[in-house]
Amino acid sequence: MKEKIKKKRNKAPKQKDIVEVVNQIVDEVNRILRDKEKEKYFYGLTLLYSFTENLLRHMSFIDTIWKQSEEGEISDELIEEFRDYYFDKLNFYGIIEKVYDKKLIKKSLKVKLQELRKQRNDFIHQCWLYVQRNDGRYLRKELIGVVDIVNSLVERFNRMAEETGVLDLYHPSDLTKQEWIVKG
């Protein structure tokens, strides 16, 4: 993966912000691919599937909060309501559609994300049938394909962060009830 999120703010020690999390994932997947760690290709795919869905959730949430704050002060109750909606109620299909409807991504990326979602569903839900789960060449090819889509999404997030200045104000632990799923 080539694209890392540009860091713009100082943060409190020991708190991982979204920039650190993304860059940790980028570094980890790059290491897996660079070192050809075949036994970790499956993990890398699973990590990127989960990361993609959660980054879309953050993008949509940020956009909603940003637009609401332009109209005036936003209450903690409204933020909680948005958080519940984006992080607890929408599935992967729904969040892709929501981000597209908000014009945060182009149709070409939406189509790629919906294909990625289908691939993820087959990969995870049919893992016990998945003959290729031990085929390093096949998994590497799949991982590289997902990396290309994730790079496009991270590039879009970077543009969104610059446009809104959100990284100066935003920390994912403020928005999610659970920690990010980055646990090696």
CA of 183: how far to CAs of 28, 47, 51, 57, 126, in Å?
Answer: 11, 10, 12, 19, 23
**So what's the pLDDT on residue 128?**
63
Give tens-digit pLDDT for 36-80. Answer: 999 999 899 999 999 999 999 989 988 888 888 777 777 888 888
Tens digits of residue pLDDT in 124-180:
887 766 667 778 888 899 999 999 899 889 888 888 877 877 665 554 444 333 232
CA dist 151 and 62 (Å) reads: 19
What predicted TM-score, i.e. pTM, was given to this entire model?
0.77
72 phi and psi, to 5 degrees?
A: 145, -175
